[in-house]
Amino acid sequence: MRLLLRVLAPLLGLALAVVGLAIVVETVTLWVAPASSPLIVPWPSWRTAIEGLTWQSGVVRGVAIGVGVVGLLVLLLGLVARRHDVYLADPVPEVTVTTSPRSLARAVGHEVRSHEDVVSASVVATTKRITVKASTLDPADTVRDAVRARVDELLGRLPLARRPRVAVSVTTTKGVK
């Protein structure tokens, strides 16, 4: 979602800048050479079409509803895309300590990869859940228990305000040991 906002924000800004530039160009053209106006936007024909509309017109209400819906979608997108911090235990009441889910995933991944039987691992962390996917050359069941124990031990050492659920899956890969 944050990626979508990072793409959407410059595009909306660019669109507003183009509209603003078109207004400036049309205004200057009308002041300097009224006979050659309009230059880009056919505003005289638009003005005659809009003159007959009132606030009770269906077109005006439809446009207002459409703008409102798009505005609500952008607002919801912004609220959903906010940063979801992982809260740590506060050392004192006046201080709030947080970390990012990426940092938590990095710490868990480092701990999992340090296990001697783990060949590779990927970790995804959110505020509510940590998902560990590891590969091993040994039987997956024994390594899964050891990896889960390591992750639980690490989460016990971290001063997390709320402990996330942990899901560990281990697959056995073929290879020379």
Q: Where in the chain is the domain with CATH 3.30.70.1350?
A: 97-172
| Burial class for 143, CB neighbours closer than 10 Å (0-12, 13-18, 19+) | buried
CA–CA dist 106, 154 (Å, integer)? 12
pTM, whole model, 2 decimals? 0.59
Order the strands of the 129-136 sheet from edge to edge: 118-125, 129-136, 165-172
The band of 175, judged by pLDDT with boundaries at 50, 70 and 90, is: low
pLDDT of residue 69: 97
CATH number of 97-172: 3.30.70.1350
Specify which residues 35 forms β-bridges with. Answer: none
pLDDT single digits (tens) 150-166 = 999 999 999 998 999 99
pLDDT value for 1: 65
